A and B are shown apart, each in its own frame.
Chain A
Amino acid sequence: MERSYLDHASASPPHPAAIAAYSQVADQFFADPTRRHREGRAARDLLEQARGVVAKTLGGSPDRCLFTSGGTEAVHLAVRGAARANRTRPARVISAAVEHSAVLAAADQSGVEHVRVPVDRVGRIDLDALRQALRAGALLVNLQHANHEVGTIQPVREAAALCREADALLHVDACQTIGRLPVSFDDLGADLLSWSAAKFGGGRGSGGVLWWPRARLAGVLTGDEREHRRRSGLEHLPGIVAAAEALLQLRPNDPEGPAAEEAERADTLRRRLRERLTQTVEDLAVHGPEDGALPHLVAASALYVEGQALVDGLDRAGFAVHSGSSCATTSGEPSHVLVAMHALTHGHIRASWGPDTTAAELEAFATTVGDVVGQLRAHLAPGTRSHR
């Protein structure tokens, strides 16, 4: 059966150039980049070249560009590393309620007070509540560039202005936007930025942190002299170079680059899919805003069905999607994003796609969602529809 992989926001298939780079580096540049021998120096040169590419394609400076094992470690380093290194600032961290659970966990573990700021019905941070929260002072504010569950793009520049006024640092988790939207750390207004290669076709197992000198950053995983003592452990060179290779292909901070071009195509698909799902499925709520959302993602909840059963039904019909409903999560709790938005937590699915996904594929997807929801309702919830 033809498969339609619609879970790019969890893990996107690697770009062919990233796979080629990965295998070449794993084969030929296996040496420890801190060593003085020729093999070590070759590995070091490659590492620094990759660092230059990341800083050039995302903005920022290679002197303040660290590599990590992925997004989770990147946000832990940004949040806990900033909390550790900025002890003269007020002992509080503020996060949007819809941040990724890794950001919330890192802030909970930062050793200082952690305050969460509410969002509106589409998942956008309440800037008045942020302003209010900043009155008591904070060392750091966490605000994602765009939400991973529903796609809402956050008002990062407005939040950055509030943070400047209150003399707080701003960390932007850009794991979902890098390679999907034009992003430049040079003009985002953030002090720290974290990213993950797994979401844009750079392959899993690498990511990183960029920061400006206004933010100080201390290591979390320490034990050697690597990365200016901010991140110990043998560098994952194949993954790092693969990520840099994918970034070179995508050119995320070029407003006319391939990433920007694909964003425009993907956004047309997104608008069409939102419309089609609403037409095909009765009693369905599409999440996130019509405008100002990730271009490659649509999330929706259907009344009276289990998210898990919906994922399984769609999987059998050839579509791979994710669900944040409690029955489908490993924690057994509904997605904290849906809860914070007061959005329907059951019957939730998220479809996210890539450059190879076609309009016809998403058209077929909308029809299939309608069919599967219909079957599940007939089975689980007969008699729920008449009083309307």
Chain B
Amino acid sequence: MPTSPPAREATGKVARVTEPLVVDSLGKSCPVPVIELSKAMNTVEVGAEVLVLADDPGAKIDIPVWCRMKRQELVDVREERGNWSFLVRRAL
């Protein structure tokens, strides 16, 4: 696991030192995606990222709220035909 912050490329975009840890919560209902995200965050270092996949209608609200409550950084949210992905960086 990397311990240094992600390096910056010449394009100005943040390059990921490693791929995010993927948590597949598809087909699981709330609060399971949030629980799985929380557990996964415990296994990565500060600065590393977790990508959660979920299709429960509550997840699109609950994962951003979890990030707010736990002061973790929600980097990106995407949706494709009811399948959501949330990229979360461990901030502390």
Q: Do A and B bind each other?
A: yes
A residues lining the B interface (CB < 8 Å): 283, 285, 303-306, 325-327, 333-334, 338-339, 342-347, 380-381, 383-384, 386-388
User: Closest CB-CB distance, B25 to chain A, in whole Å?
Assistant: 13
CA distance A344 to B69 in the complex (A): 10
> Is the beta-carbon distance between B61 and A304 smaller than 8 angstroms?
no
Interface size class of B (residues with CB under 8 A): 20 to 34
> Is the beta-carbon distance between B34 and A388 smaller than 8 angstroms?
no
* Chain B neighbourhood of A387, CB < 8 A: 38, 41-42, 70, 90
> Is the beta-carbon distance between A305 and B61 smaller than 8 angstroms?
no
* Chain B neighbourhood of A383, CB < 8 A: 38-39, 42
CA distance A380 to B66 in the complex (A): 17
In the complex, how many residue pairs between chain A and chain B have their CB atoms under 8 Å apart?
71
> Is the beta-carbon distance between B61 and A338 smaller than 8 angstroms?
yes
* Chain B neighbourhood of A342, CB < 8 A: 61, 64-65
With A334-B30, A342-B64, A344-B62 as contacts: A326 and B57 at CB distance below 8 Å = yes
B33, closest chain A residue (CB) = A346
- Of listed A343, A346, A347, residue having the most chain B CB within 10 A: A346
* Chain A neighbourhood of B38, CB < 8 A: 303-304, 381, 383-384, 387
B14: Cβ under 8 A from any A Cβ: no
Which of A285, A333, A381, A388 contacts B35 (CB under 8 A)? A381
> Is the beta-carbon distance between A384 and B35 smaller than 8 angstroms?
yes
> Is the beta-carbon distance between A388 and B57 smaller than 8 angstroms?
no
- Of listed B42, B65, B66, B69, residue having the most chain A CB within 10 A: B65
> Is the beta-carbon distance between A304 and B57 smaller than 8 angstroms?
no
> Is the beta-carbon distance between A304 and B35 smaller than 8 angstroms?
yes
CA distance A380 to B31 in the complex (A): 9
Which label, helix, strand, loop or mixed, suits the secondary structure of the A interface?
loop
B6: Cβ under 8 A from any A Cβ: no
B5: Cβ under 8 A from any A Cβ: no
> Is the beta-carbon distance between B69 and A303 smaller than 8 angstroms?
yes
What are 30 pairs between A and B in contact, CB < 8 Å?
Answer: A285-B65, A285-B69, A303-B38, A304-B31, A304-B38, A306-B30, A306-B31, A326-B30, A326-B56, A327-B30, A333-B57, A334-B57, A334-B61, A338-B61, A339-B61, A342-B65, A343-B61, A344-B61, A344-B66, A344-B69, A345-B58, A346-B34, A380-B35, A381-B38, A381-B39, A383-B38, A386-B42, A387-B38, A387-B41, A387-B42
With A325-B58, A326-B29, A334-B57 as contacts: A303 and B34 at CB distance below 8 Å = yes
CA distance A317 to B6 in the complex (A): 50
B26-65: which have CB < 8 Å to A?
29-31, 34-35, 38-39, 41-42, 56-58, 61-62, 64-65
User: Closest CB-CB distance, A281 to chain B, in whole Å?
Assistant: 13
* Chain B neighbourhood of A380, CB < 8 A: 31, 35
CA distance A240 to B64 in the complex (A): 47
* Chain B neighbourhood of A386, CB < 8 A: 42
Q: A-B pairs with the 8 shortest C-beta distances? A: A346-B31, A346-B30, A345-B58, A384-B38, A334-B58, A381-B35, A344-B65, A387-B42
* Chain A neighbourhood of B64, CB < 8 A: 342
Which of A305, A338, A343 contacts B31 (CB under 8 A)? A305
User: Closest CB-CB distance, A353 to chain B, in whole Å?
Assistant: 27
